[in-house]
Amino acid sequence: MEIPNILFFSANRVWRTYPGGKKLDVLEALENPKDDHFPEDWIGSTTRAVNKGREHLIKEGLSEVMVDGQTLTLKALCKKEPYAILGEEHFKKYGPNTQFLLKFLDSAIRLHIQCHPTIPFAQKYLNSNSGKTEAYVILSIRDEIKDPYIYFGFQNPPEKEALKRIIEEQDSEAMLACFEKISIKPGDVFVVPGGMPHAIGEGIFMVEIMEPTDFAVRIEFERGSYVLPEESRFMNRGIDFALSMFNYEPTSVDTVKEHFFCEPRLLETQNESNEYILVDEQKTKCFKVNRINVKGGYTKEAFSFYIGIVTKGNGFIEILGNTYLAEEGAKFFVPYQTGAVTYISESEMEILVTFPPN
């Protein structure tokens, strides 16, 4: 099998419990863009989605690519040609997986208050070497949203027994009183560690990077007129399991901004183009995220495979004499075997690139 030097992804919309996705419809040039229960586009995914009642959709969440005229999942391609796609060292350590999950996410409403496991928790209780630490890169806010926000950590932490009562009674007022809104804006980048209670506010379009699982406990049972089935609330386990996942340490708004927001750091300049480090080992060892601002040209030589997303502008991608169009919303995979890639834009193009853990 001849492996292309670049693989482009089409839309891979995934059903979720909350509505959104209108911005994704626009990017996909669909007629009559609207919000529905497909608010996420999973990009370069080797991870299956976990959705109650949709277990028969065995490929839901898995990205597909076209190679030699045939369509196959990226995971299947990684199994067929692991060294060319992932590299020998990565494959021997992690198997036929990218070891991260990347998404577009477009929220029409605030999401459920939720929590994801740490790696030690996942190893102990979920038979998994991956938890679900996440990073968010905020791209845009809907025009009608004047004060965009997230919930992140307990600013007013409850005792565990008090939280149990709040959940059992679905006392929304008491639940939200545990948090203070944290203001966000386009361009913000932050990391949400496993164990940290959180919720994304309404009207936010972002790229979400995370460990390669779909683990979540949700302590709000109804959002947007949809009531979570019992099995989907605490991962088909009991409330005490869910309560044991949370970090109850008080986390002030200032602490969140100081320790979990990420300031871009310049990595390299080529003429008028710059590459910035957004997320690296200073914040998490689970994945790495950079941003390339292309004006003119920029050549990227990586020692790993990576996934790229054109988040602003348009231009071209050149590899070994071949030229590919790169428009806003384009999503692509650069295999380990590829080598140097040149990005070109006469105006300005912004590309988000995500790398696996070391």
Same domain? 191 vs 299: no
Residue-number span of the structural domain to which 323 is assigned:
265-355
| 286-299: burial string, b at 16+ Cβ within 10 Å, e else | bbbbbbbbbbebbe
Residue 1 lies in a domain: no
Same domain? 59 vs 139: yes
Same domain? 206 vs 339: no
Return the pLDDT at 57: 81
Return the pLDDT at 356: 98
Total domains in the fold of the chain = 2
Same domain? 249 vs 270: no
Same domain? 205 vs 128: yes
Q: CB-based burial of residue 339 (10 Å sphere; 0-12 exposed, 13-18 middle, 19+ buried)?
A: middle
Same domain? 208 vs 286: no
Cβ atoms of residues 237 and 126 within 8 Å: no
Same domain? 121 vs 172: yes
User: In DSSP terms, which residues pair with 87 in a beta bridge?
Assistant: none
> Is 172 in a helix, a strand, or coil?
helix
> What does each of the 358 residues of the chain score in pLDDT, given as a tens digit?
889 999 999 999 999 999 999 999 999 999 999 999 999 999 999 999 988 888 888 789 999 999 999 999 999 999 999 999 999 999 999 999 999 999 999 999 999 999 999 999 999 999 999 999 999 999 999 999 999 999 999 999 999 999 999 999 999 999 999 999 999 999 999 999 999 999 999 999 999 999 999 999 999 999 999 999 999 999 999 999 999 999 999 999 999 999 999 999 999 999 999 999 999 999 999 999 999 999 999 999 999 999 999 999 999 999 999 999 999 999 999 999 999 999 999 999 999 999 999 8
Same domain? 121 vs 156: yes
**Tokens 């979570």 identify what position?**
228
Residue 53 lies in a domain: yes
> Is 79 in a helix, a strand, or coil?
helix
* 258 phi-psi bin (left φ>0, alpha ψ -120 to 50, beta other): alpha
Residue type, 153: G
* DSSP output for 114-132: EE---HHHHHHHSS-S---
Residue type, 11: A
d(CA 19, CA 239): 25
Domain boundary among 259, 293, 312: 259
Residue 5 lies in a domain: no
Same domain? 195 vs 239: yes
Return the pLDDT at 54: 83
Q: CB count, 10 Å around CB of 342?
A: 17
Same domain? 210 vs 171: yes
Residue type, 201: G
Residue 270 lies in a domain: yes
Residue 297 lies in a domain: yes
Residue 2 lies in a domain: no
In this structure, what DSSP letter does residue 146 have? S
Same domain? 269 vs 246: no
Residue 289 lies in a domain: yes
Return the pLDDT at 8: 97
> Is 92 in a helix, a strand, or coil?
helix
Supply the CATH number for residue 303's domain.
2.60.120.10
Residue 310 lies in a domain: yes
* DSSP output for 246-311: ---S---HHHHHHHTB---EEEEEETTEEEEEEE-TTT-SS-EEEEEEEEEEEEE--SS-EEEEEE
Same domain? 234 vs 273: no
pLDDT in tens, 224-237: 999 999 999 999 99
CA angle 64, 66, 72 (to 5 degrees): 45
Return the pLDDT at 211: 97
Domain boundary among 220, 239, 259: 259
pLDDT in tens, 238-296: 999 999 999 999 999 999 999 999 999 999 999 999 999 999 999 999 999 999 999 99
* DSSP output for 30-68: -SS---BB--EEEES--S----TT-TT-TTTT--EEEET
Domain boundary among 259, 285, 317: 259
Return the pLDDT at 1: 82
